[in-house]
Amino acid sequence: MMALDDIRVLDLSRLAPGPFCTMMLGDLGADILLIEPPPDSRAGNAPGSGRGGDAYNALGRNKRSIILNLRDDEARAVFYKLVETADVVLEGFRPGVVQRLGVDYETLRQKNPRLVYCSLSGYGQTGPYAGLVGHDINYISIGGALGMIGWPGQPPAIPMNIIADFAAGGLHAAYAILAALHARDRLGRGQFIDAAMSDGVLYLLASSISGYYASGGRVPEAGATMLNGSIPAYNVYQCSDGGWISIGSLEPHFWANLCRVMGREDFIPHQFDGEKREEISAHFRAQFKSKTRDEWFDVLRETDICAAPVYGLDEALRDPHNLAREMVVEVEHPEEGRVKQVGVGTKLSETPGSVRVPAPAPGQHTDDVLTGLGYDAEAVASLREAGAVA
């Protein structure tokens, strides 16, 4: 038994946020069916979208794939049959597209009132920006996150596409879908989820927003607050080998331990003292230059200090703790053999998740799905001949 092995999801999404959402659901057992566009469709997969049959593509794992040309009436009829027994539909188009395709919530709920329908978009289905195009960098800009990241007097530091696409987008949508499925058990009907990445960014900033209002409107600036680099206790330091180590000694006892290791117990009363800040930072910078990054980590981890080496991704994937937590796993691919992928982050004691199969090739399961819906070989051939499926 797996936590979500009774849940069927139809995934219409293309770019990273949607596939990450359904990867999470699939890792926990949900049956994920990708509804892929024809290869020559304008709505096809974009570079880096995390779709297709790449052996190492974690975003496509634990999923099946059917190619449907939803602009075709017969293909839509196939999709409607799938909706009748589905629990969830996820789409990531710009507002208005699903209405034009005839696969919007109001249409589909008539066919399956228990359906949970999630529209995952940049700015949501309402509001003055709803129709705007965008990517992660734009959503974290509108949401106020990008302006806090970096150092004073420097351009904002762009943090990959983790915050909006994956956290405020995919993770936010998965959480909303599970909440709606739980509510369905009590209401007896599904509902529509309007998941906006710009909303999700602001949601992630709940603590910062609380501080802003509580302070009477003090704006957290890049490198100028306690948690983004303004104090020596919560910062990064370069070591003798050029590597960096992160320090997060906010609590007084951790700070005291750090000061002792740095040979300056006299700094203990001055953790948040603005007048001593540069003196303390200069001393710490000099001290950390006396050993390599890994030497410092060995020292600090034994002295009850919040510290960690700043890894490149290759190092993170070799770290013994990450390996012990099974955050690197292997999956069997029919052509490449055993390949490595990221493990399942959610650890459940009774119904653990797993990586069962690699990403499918687009349309790999078209015939199987159609046969399961009752189409015979002649009907499948006719649909293919008409360009409704591929």
Domains in the chain: boundaries: 8-203+327-385, 234-316
Residue with tokens 């539909």: 89
d(CA 36, CA 49): 12
DSSP states of 252-286: HHHHHHHHHHTT-GGGGGGTT-TTTHHHHHHHHHH
Q: Which residues contact 28 (CB under 8 A, 6 or more apart)?
A: 2, 3, 4, 344, 346, 348, 351, 353
Q: Output the CA–CA distances (angstroms, integers) from residue 192 to 104, 133, 180, 264, 273, in the order listed.
A: 10, 22, 9, 58, 50
Q: What angle do CA 338, 340, 342 make, to 5 degrees?
A: 145
- CATH 2.60.120.10 fits domain 8-203+327-385: no
Span between the terminal Cα atoms of the chain, in Å: 33
Rounded to two decimals, the pTM is 0.94
What residues contact residue 300 under an 8 Å CB cut-off, 6+ apart? 245, 247, 258, 261, 307
Query: Residue 48's pLDDT is what?
Result: 38
- pLDDT tens digits, residue range 196-244? 999 999 999 999 999 999 999 999 999 999 999 999 999 999 999 999 9
23-32 pLDDT, tens digit per residue, is: 999 999 999 9
Question: What is the number of other CB atoms lying within 10 angstroms of the CB of residue 273?
Answer: 12
pLDDT of residue 41: 60
Residues in the chain where the model's pLDDT stays below 50: 42, 44-50
Query: Residue 119 is inside which H or E element, if any?
Result: strand 116-121
What is the fold, at CATH topology level, of the domain defined by 234-316? formyl-coa transferase, domain 3 (3.30.1540)
Sheet containing 307-309, strands listed edge to edge, beginning at the edge strand earlier in sequence: 234-238, 244-248, 307-309
Tokens 């794992």 found at = 61
- Which residues are known to be catalytic? 135, 165
Q: Would you state the pLDDT for residue 54?
A: 84
> Hey, what are 2's tokens?
């797996």
Residue 39 is predicted with a pLDDT of 86
Q: What's the pLDDT score for residue 53?
A: 61
Predicted confidence at residue 47, as pLDDT, reads 36
Both tokens of 386, joined, read 């008409």
